[in-house]
Structure 1
Amino acid sequence: MKEHSSPLYLQISEDIKRKIHNGEYQVNTKIPTEAELEKIYGASRITIRKALELLVEDEILSRKPKIGTYVTAKKIMRSLNQSMSFSKTCQGNGHVVSTVLLRAELREAKERDLQCLELEGETHILVIRRLRFCNGVPVILEENRFAKEYAFLLAEDLSISLYSILEKHGIYPEMSRKTIGVCYGTKEEAACLGVSEGSALLITRDVVYGRDNKPIYRGKEVVNAENFEYTILQRNHE
Structure 2
Amino acid sequence: MIIHYLDKKSKEPLYKQLKAALLNYIEDHLKEGDALPIESEIEKLYGVSRITVRKTIEELVKDGVVTKKQGRGTFVQSRKIIQKAGTITSWTEEMRLKGKSIETRNLIMNEIEPSKKISEELKLKTGEKIICLKRLRCADGEPIAIIINYFRSKYVPGFLEKGLTRDSLYEVLEQDYNIQLERASETIQARLASDLEAVELEIPLDSAILQITRVSYLPDGTPFELVEMFNRSDRYQYHIDLIGRNKLKTITEESET
TM-score range, shorter chain: 0.7 to 0.9
Cα distance in 2, alignment partners of residues 229 and 66 from structure 1: 14
SS in 1 for 2:186: strand
Q: Is the 8 A contact 1:101 1:159 kept in 2?
A: no
Whether the 8 Å CA contact 2:32–2:78 is kept in 1: the answer is no
In the alignment, the residues of structure 2 paired with residue 160 and residue 235 of structure 1 have an alpha-carbon distance, to the nearest angstrom, of 34
Secondary structure, counterpart of 2:204 in structure 1:
coil
Partner of 1:28: none
User: Could you say if the C-alpha distance between residues 140 and 211 of structure 1 is closer, same or farther in structure 2, counting changes exceeding 3 Å?
Assistant: same
Q: 1:69 offset after TM fit, Å?
A: 5.5
**2:105 equivalent among 83, 96, 100:** 100
1:77 matched residue in structure 2: 82
Out of 151, 164, 167, the position equivalent to 1:157 is 164
Aligned to 2:150: 145
Counterpart of 1:134 in structure 2 is: 139
Deviation, 1:99, is 1.6
- The one-character-per-residue Cα deviations of 1:209-237 (angstroms, maximum 9, x if unpaired) are 12222112111001001111111111011
What does 1:32-47 align with in structure 2 at a 5 Å threshold? 37-38=39-40, 41=41, 44=44, 46=46
Higher mean displacement: 118-127 or 86-95? 118-127
Determine if the alignment matches structure 1 residue 63 to structure 2 residue 50: no
Write the letter of the residue equivalent to 1:160.
D
2: CA distance, partners of 1:207 / 1:225 = 22
TM-score using structure 1 length: 0.74
- Aligned pair partner of 1:237 in 210, 234, 245: 245
**Cα gap change, 1:19 to 1:206, in 2 (>3 Å):** closer
CA contact (8 A) 2:145 2:201 kept: yes
- Residue 174 of structure 1: how far off its partner (Å): 2.3
Is the 8 Å Cα contact of residues 126 and 151 (structure 1) preserved in structure 2? no
Aligned residues with identical type, % of pairs: 20
CA distance in 2, matches of 1:131, 1:42: 38
> What is the aligned partner in structure 2 of residue 183 from structure 1?
191
* Structure 1 position 121, deviation (Å): 1.3
Helix, strand or coil: the match of 2:99? coil
Change (3 A) 1:44 1:132: same
**RMSD between superposed Cα atoms in Å:** 3.6
**Equivalent position amino acid for 1:181 in 2:** Q
CA distance in 2, matches of 1:184, 1:225: 10
For residues 120-175 of structure 1, give each alpha carbon's deviation from its aligned partner in whole angstroms, at most 9, with x where no partner exists. 11253211101111111111101111223135322232661001000011001222
What 5-or-longer segments of structure 2 have no aligned partner? 5-24, 68-75, 247-257
The structure-2 alpha-carbon separation of the partners of 1:213 and 1:19, relative to structure 1 and needing over 3 Å to count, comes to closer
Do the aligned partners of residues 201 and 151 (structure 1) sit closer, same or farther apart at CA in structure 2, a change above 3 Å counting?
A: farther
Check the 8 A contact 1:100/1:159 in 2, yes or no.
no
Quote how far apart the aligned CAs of 1:46 are.
Answer: 2.5
Q: Distance in 2 between matches of 1:121 and 1:177?
A: 24
Residue in structure 2 matching 1:221, options 195, 204, 229: 229
CA distance in 2, matches of 1:166, 1:114: 21
Distance in 2 (alpha carbons) for counterparts of 1:79 and 1:66: 22
1:222 to 1:66, Cα distance in 2 relative to 1, 3 A: closer
Alignment correspondent of 1:3: none
- The question of 1:167 aligning with 2:180 is answered no
Q: Partners in 2 of 1:84 and 1:66 — Cα distance?
A: 27
Shift of 1:176: 0.9
Aligned pair in 2 of structure 1 residues 164, 147: CA closer, same or farther (>3 Å)?
Answer: same
Moved more, 98-107 or 110-119: 98-107
